[in-house]
A and B are shown apart, each in its own frame.
Chain A
Amino acid sequence: MADSAGRTGERGSAGRVRGALAPYLMVLPAGLWLLVFFVVPMVAMVSLSLQTGDLVDGFRQTFHWRNYTDGLHTYGDQFVRSLWYGLLATVACAVLSYPAAYWIAFRGGRGKTAYLMLLLLPYFVSFVLRTVSWKLVLTDDGPVLGPLRGHGILPPGFHVLDTGFAVVSGLTYNFLPFMALPIYVALERIDPRVVEAARDLYAGRAGAFARVVLPLSLPGVFAGVILTFVPASADYVNAEVLGGPGDTMIGNVIQSEYFDNGAYPVASALSFALMAILLLGVFAYARALGTRNVLEAAGR
């Protein structure tokens, strides 16, 4: 990191002083805001997660680590399920959105922007409303299952709503743009001439795709994975609206421990554990892929 503040090219001592202070002054409002409403709350949460007590008698700091072990022991299933559902949704998002992003980036022509808009259009509907509408799509006599049932194709007890599949499909639906956009951005940056050259070099479309297009677009996929996986595995609205008895995710537990039970310490412990797992995962993932090279390619 450069120790001399300011940009090169500032002339004169007054300019240098102003230049040295300027970035700090500019960062100050945002930094302060994040410090007070992001960092301090995190600390408060960690502190709360080690306390014992209840709302009536108050909570006291007792460094009660068992909030973590008890919480993880009781709700370990939900933790694992959240990560699993998040992973499934992430993979589904990647598989579903890649071909479309590819087509729009390379074959969209002048309609490129319009297609991208169409892809993003549903996300102007409020998240909650969108999930409720998605539920209407999946209901037993809805537009998808209704006709199939009418033709007697489905076994009598078959249903999608209130199953894990419904939850994963809801997550996929809700978080798809977080995957589609970075992939599109990465694909769109690939110079068509490079693809053309590759096609001559590797003799064919499949070879060019596998050896040139796909590797060049991977940074977009990697960025998309982070952007999709984190919110999907921490979500609780989809599991609440679309899931059945065996589909509760850790977000549901956190939410109800806070609101229904007022069990703030355990809820805090679960929240912090969730964040730690996800953030560590994100950083490990970025490192393993070689942050610099991978992200630099996408950033260009």
Chain B
Amino acid sequence: MTTRTRPAPARRGTPRRRRVDGLHAYTLLLIGWLILPVAIMIAFGFNDVHGKQNYRWEGFTLRWYAHLLDKDDLVTAVVNSLTIALLSTLLSTVAGTLAGLALGRYRFRGGGATGLLLLMAISCPEVVMGASLLSMFVTFGLPRGYLTILLAHVMFSIAFVAVTVRARVVGLDPAVEEAARDLGAGPWTRFRLVTLPMIMPGVVAGALLAFVLSIDDFVITGFTSGATVTFPLWVYGSTRTGTPPQVNVLGTLIFAVGAVVTAVTARRGARAPDHSRAW
């Protein structure tokens, strides 16, 4: 791998190659460092623990995979997390894609303000967002629960989707759509057959981002959750009495699914030509 570099830069003798090797080793070391805690998490999902505390290795077992669904509340929490993530991905992708499309394509009064609003929503610290939502719910006396979590998740996801889609739209050549119109395609047909396929990679990337942000969110959910519990909240709460190995198993499974989905998307992205540049 080390020697298979880009063809362009000329190589000059061996000393440089050694330096390249050093960087390569460093990269692998960094990756190893990042993966170490994950490896520990996965390993402790196979730990044959008998007490309530899962931090000392007591032997290998697949028990926790077999008894994955034993803890009703944990299952409820995971189901909440998944359904909230799906719904919020759906809503935020639709709203975010439309906004991203508008911002990337049109110049209009208020466009700049909307862009600024998106930037603020992205750069606002989570704890502040959560605190402000809580303040609003308290001020208006609104009870918190599943619905308020969903509303909050859609809110912080929209900006990320919109910005991702916009990046895609800006790179598009308007001539393609104009050609479609010249050929007699109506606005809806144009959108469905021309625009949407072209921005699809951006939409998919935005949707994935929205899903991951939602399923992983702890801080904002904590402020808006009421008596509803999601997976991250359950995990945090369980550290009190000892996190059961099922949490590690679920973490491992979510990790595996996420990794596979990204690998597939990445491969697709690598294979498919980049439309924005091809035209």
Contacts and interface: CB of A to CB of B under 8 A. Distances in A.
A267 B223 CA distance: 12
Contact of B127 (A121, A127, A236): A236
B6 interface: yes
Interface residues of B, number: 98
Contacts of A119: 30-31, 34
B243 A132 contact: yes
A107 interface: yes
A42 B232 contact: no
B159 A34 contact: yes
Contact of B155 (A34, A48, A268): A34
B125 interface: yes
A275 interface: yes
Q: For this complex, into which size category does the number of interface residues on chain A fall? A: 35 or more
Q: Which of B111, B114, B117, B136 has the most CB of A within 10 A?
A: B136
A49 to B, nearest CB: 8
Interface in A45-69: 45, 47-48
B189 interface: no
Interface string A256-300: 001000001001100110110011001000000000000000000
A42 B135 CA distance: 8
Contacts of B239: 132, 241
Contact of A234 (B38, B128, B135, B248): B128
Interface in A2-54: 2-3, 5-7, 9, 18-20, 22-24, 26-27, 29-31, 33-34, 37-42, 44-45, 47-48
Contacts, number: 277
B95 A45 contact: no
Given A30-B158, A38-B117, A133 B37 contact: yes
A26 B23 contact: no
Contacts of A40: 136
B162 interface: yes
Contact of B109 (A1, A132, A267): A1
A118 interface: yes
Interface in B1-59: 1-2, 4-6, 8-10, 16, 19-20, 23-24, 26-27, 30-31, 34-38, 40-41, 44, 55
Given A27-B110, A48-B139, 13 more contacts: A6-B106, A30-B99, A30-B114, A37-B152, A44-B136, A44-B140, A106-B5, A124-B262, A130-B38, A241-B239, A254-B127, A255-B127, A282-B123
30 contacts: A3-B109, A23-B108, A26-B102, A27-B110, A34-B159, A41-B129, A41-B132, A41-B136, A45-B132, A99-B26, A107-B20, A107-B23, A107-B24, A117-B259, A121-B35, A122-B34, A124-B212, A124-B262, A125-B37, A126-B251, A127-B216, A128-B236, A130-B41, A133-B38, A134-B37, A176-B34, A196-B8, A205-B19, A255-B222, A271-B132
